[in-house]
Structure 1
Amino acid sequence: MSLGPFFKSKRSILFWIALISAVLSIFFYQKYSQLDSHYSILPQPGKTPSYAEDTNRLLLKRQHPEGFFVNNPDLFAEPSVLNLESLRLSRYAVDTLNLLGALDNIDRENLIQFVLKNHKAPSNAIGNLKGFSALPNSIVNIRATMDSVMILKQLNALDRVDTDAIANLILAYQNEDGGFWDPGYSEFGQRSTVQATSFAIRTLLHLDKIKLLNK
């Protein structure tokens, strides 16, 4: 039987179009998978993206010997490398490394000790209230408390602090309108703000104390 008429028919044209489309689809899917594996920051099951490895190395180089993270490791010896943003940078680094499955590579204990050094009660505290400041000489506030709680939780170290005392501190900054204020944002006084309310709720959530708001 001759296939000549088939190859000359309209049906054969549709067949070749479908075949070529299938081959091109497989080719482009393979290329997409290669690019996605290389450039994706989040690990894929069974794969280790080279971009994620580079990110791990970048962040790990930025952990100071005292535990906190910095933007520029060339300034490790500079006194100003430790500042009010160090705690926030450390939380960003821990969050990212946790997503990339690389927390086991950091100096956990030094970072925990850095956070715990700033764990205290406000100077005007009455009762069982305790939170965190960003630095030993800075004030206790909700933002620093949230960052500290999140770091300790990621490092499985929340059992080293009195979580009830921290929750009590956060609730002490709740206003009658339901919002929260933060002494770290002195320009707003004791008025409820979106920032402080967000920090407060997130802290209570990470402490598993959110139910206290429903009392």
Structure 2
Amino acid sequence: MEVTEGITEEFVEELHNTYLLSLNDTKDQYAIGFFMNDHLKLPGAYWCITALNLLDKLNGQRKDEMTEFIKSCQNEDGGIGGNVGHDSHITCCLYAVLILAQYNALDAIDTDALAKYVADLQKEDGSFSGDSRFSYTAISLLTLLNKMDLIDVKKARDFILLCNNIDGGYGAIPDAESHAAYTFCCIGALAILGDLDLVDNENLGIWISQRQTLQGGFNGRPEKLPDVCYSWWVMSACYNIEQENLINLESLKKYILHCQDPDMGGIGDRPGNEVDVFHTYFGIAALSLMKEYDLKPICPRFAIPKEVLEEVFPHIK
């Protein structure tokens, strides 16, 4: 193993597995584990479970516990909150579906009520609760549940298209600054809708290629520092529009590897920084997209292993 000042260029797979499995046992109040920060309990579970699955280390672990937990997070309005007793939130609804799909346990919740809750969030302008993040979330969830007939698809698509800027990127709302995370959401939504022909690939490709910094990692917008989480958001957009050739994949891989903790496992946002489950998941997901280290292939549209998509959602082509 090559290690220089706490940096390794070897993928420490077993240490990542140990780190992820240890999250629920830690008492660190700042940890984002299965059951640590109240409002991040469900998101933390998604990041952890999906990372373990990509590592081929999930093996049905905690299925009954997680299924019962998510079931208890579904509220009377049909939506799902980030923890028991928390208000429903559209993002947590998608996390719940993605987790249960990986356990093949979608029947644990009322998916009809969940789909109705999400569909009812659509506004007159076609958006969902305001910005393009939630448009992606709604379109992804309703497509997975085969419930797109509940919304005005044309309005949803048109809102996303209005978020496209002259520089090629996409923002949170029309006329907002282009940002890698929102670009992922808009391109992911258009990919799911089958509307990538409406994307200016050349213009977007230029903007995406400019997100790679001299360190090899991506930033979210111009003049910002690189961050491992953008490895997924930028790379997934690249793969959706088949423009991954614009990226120096070897430099990106090295950046992600340099953000690992070579002794304890886990991945941080930048080399030498504290690791967390959020960046660990996104780093592993990006490496999966790049077909590195025999990781399970991940779907760039839905952010779950492709095998789950094929087995649990056969209606999706």
Which residue of 1 is the match for residue 145 of structure 2?
A: 207
The answer to whether the aligner puts 1:171 opposite 2:122 as a matched pair is: no
Partner amino acid, structure 2, of 1:200: A
Q: Which runs of 5+ in 1 are unaligned?
A: 1-37, 41-50, 65-72, 123-129, 182-191
| Worse-matched range after superposition: 102-111 or 152-161 | 102-111
Deviations 1:143-195 (A, max 9, x none): 111111111111111012221211111110011221111xxxxxxxxxx2112
The answer to whether the aligner puts 1:85 opposite 2:23 as a matched pair is: no
Higher relative helix content: 1
Which structure has the larger Rg over C-alpha atoms? 1
- Summarize the alignment of residues 1-215 of structure 1 with structure 2, pairs less than 5 Å apart: 39-40=10-11, 51-63=12-24, 73-75=26-28, 81-104=36-59, 106-122=61-77, 130-181=78-129, 192-213=130-151
Could you tell me whether the CA contact under 8 Å between 2:126 and 2:152 is conserved in 1? no
Distance 2:18 2:44 in 1: 16
For normalisation by structure 1, the TM-score amounts to 0.58
Residue 120 of structure 1 and its aligned partner are, at CA, apart by 1.8
Distance 2:60 2:22 in 1: 11
Could you tell me whether the CA contact under 8 Å between 2:116 and 2:150 is conserved in 1? no
Partner amino acid, structure 2, of 1:110: E
Percent identity of equivalent pairs: 26
Could you tell me whether the CA contact under 8 Å between 2:81 and 2:93 is conserved in 1? yes
Could you tell me whether the CA contact under 8 Å between 2:90 and 2:138 is conserved in 1? yes
Distance 1:197 1:141 in 2: 13
Distance 1:170 1:63 in 2: 30
Residue 60 of structure 1 and its aligned partner are, at CA, apart by 1.0
Moved over 6 A (4+): none
Residue 82 of structure 1 and its aligned partner are, at CA, apart by 4.2
Deviations 1:41-73 (A, max 9, x none): xxxxxxxxxx22221111111135xxxxxxxx1
Partner amino acid, structure 1, of 2:63: R
Partner amino acid, structure 2, of 1:155: Y
Distance 2:144 2:24 in 1: 24
Q: Which runs of 5+ in 2 are unaligned?
A: 1-8, 154-317
Deviations 1:13-65 (A, max 9, x none): xxxxxxxxxxxxxxxxxxxxxxxxx834xxxxxxxxxx22221111111135x
User: How many residues are matched?
Assistant: 141
User: Could you say which structure has the greater relative contact order, defined with CA pairs below 8 angstroms and 6 or more residues apart?
Assistant: 2
Distance 2:61 2:24 in 1: 8
